[in-house]
Amino acid sequence: MAGREKSIAPMGRSYEPQEAVGAGHARDRLRGQPPGKGIALRAMKGAPAEPRPPAPEGRMPAAPGPRLEWTGLPIAERRIPPAPGDAGTLIILTHPACLLHDPGPEHPERPARLEAVLEGLRRHHCDADWREAPIVKLGDLRRVHDEALVRDVLEADVSGYRMLDPDTVMCPASRAAALRAAGAGVAAVDAVMNGEDRIAFCAVRPPGHHATSGSAMGFCLFNNIAVAAAYALDKHGLERVAVVDFDVHHGNGTQAIFFNDPRVAYFSSHESGIYPHSGAPYERGAGNIFNALLPPGSGGFRFQNTWADDLLPALDDFKPQLLLISAGFDAHMRDPLADLMLETEDFGWLTGQLRAVAQRHAGGRIVSMLEGGYDLDALREASVAHLDALR
């Protein structure tokens, strides 16, 4: 896969090494309105969040404390594997190691993000089949990553912080988190392909969709979704795997890795003019790349129309045998890193559409993996809406 990233628009070349941590993503904030404008706009629109139904009685997880604490996986006491096609069931993969990856103070990709997601999922999807994400095998990483990157991430002596690029920082716990994040996707593919369940969600970090074959970048160490897609092709003999990416940033790494591989089709909507400055509609790969640029302030109406008119018909035509989702929630109007101005309901809408595509072509099989999302309340709310619509 080496060198494929060279065939798309230059990415990350404009970053000066001396820039502060978070400069790539965070710098985009300076181009738009100041953080927090989404809250104001939401108030103007008078669109409060829909109240969620209470969790089943007696199963309410403990509320998180002021400090980050792993409160344990709410493993179901007894689980009977559903037959393929059963509705309403769901596997959630996560691991406490993913809470320990810490890129440093003030970094937006912080452990509290995952804690917020888990808090929401424990409350609303406590009855899912919760599993610990395994450590990925090196051979599974090497399908999409150069040996040099694998060694760089796994073998470097990290004490304190180690910057891989101005955005992407490792701490001593990062290696374990990266191995679990990538391992979650592989295990999720096995689970849905083996008929243990139809839907799996990987609540993991660091995120992955910016990492290319040879470079960790944009908060991402390994490209978790690409590792999962390549595994599905190789180990399960699939011929058509779709990766749908609704993170507000373009998944340049995923696109680059599969740019010349028509067995994987990549579908992404993302905000124009922000990191990583790739993902133009003319970037088509082998005819398997589908990009839609949305201008800042687009909002849900334009977002939904773009998917309904352009991306979803193309996805339907591709007839994926397995649908993978890069689920980033930073297009939410409250997110501090972007200005696409989606509301929580928009994530639920698209997820419902994707579920229908998967039911038509993939036996309902979906693996979704957490990517971005930097406002904790929006992230918690939108990830719950995503899973509500997946089930």
Q: Where are the beta strands (DSSP E) in 262-379?
A: 264-271, 289-294, 322-327, 366-370
Q: Position 260: which residue type?
A: N
Q: Minimal CB distance to Zn ion: which residue?
A: 372
Cβ atoms < 10 Å from Cβ of 92: 26
Q: Pairing between strand 169-170 and 162-163? A: antiparallel
Which residue, 252 or 321, has its beta carbon nearer to Zn ion? 252
Centroid of chain to Cα 45: 28
Which residue, 12 or 372, has its beta carbon nearer to Zn ion? 372
CB of 328 to Zn ion, least distance (A): 4
Which residue, 140 or 247, has its beta carbon nearer to Zn ion? 247
- Cα–Cα distance, 253 to 95 (Å, whole number): 24
Which residue, 268 or 321, has its beta carbon nearer to Zn ion? 268
Structure tokens at 255: 């696109």
Peptide bond into 276 cis (omega under 30): yes
Site residues for Zn ion per CB under 5 A: 247, 249, 328, 330, 372
Which residue, 253 or 328, has its beta carbon nearer to Zn ion? 328
- Cα–Cα distance, 343 to 4 (Å, whole number): 35
- Cα–Cα distance, 253 to 326 (Å, whole number): 12
* Closest C-alpha to 167, from 226, 210, 228, 112: 210
> Looking up tokens 């995952």, which residue turns up?
114
Q: How far is CA 276 from CA 212, 272, 348, in A?
A: 12, 10, 25
Beta carbons of 205 and 109 less than 8 angstroms apart: yes
Q: Which of 210, 249, 270, 277 is catalytic?
A: 210
Active site (annotated) includes residue 210: yes
Cβ atoms < 10 Å from Cβ of 124: 20
Region of residue 266 (left: phi > 0; alpha: psi -120 to 50; beta: else)? beta
- Three-state DSSP at 366 gives strand
- Three-state DSSP at 192 gives helix
Which residue, 326 or 353, has its beta carbon nearer to Zn ion? 326
Which residue, 213 or 269, has its beta carbon nearer to Zn ion? 269
CB of 253 to Zn ion, least distance (A): 12
CB of 75 to Zn ion, least distance (A): 31
Centroid of chain to Cα 283: 21
- Cα–Cα distance, 114 to 137 (Å, whole number): 23
Structure tokens at 106: 């003030």
Q: Which residues are catalytic?
A: 210
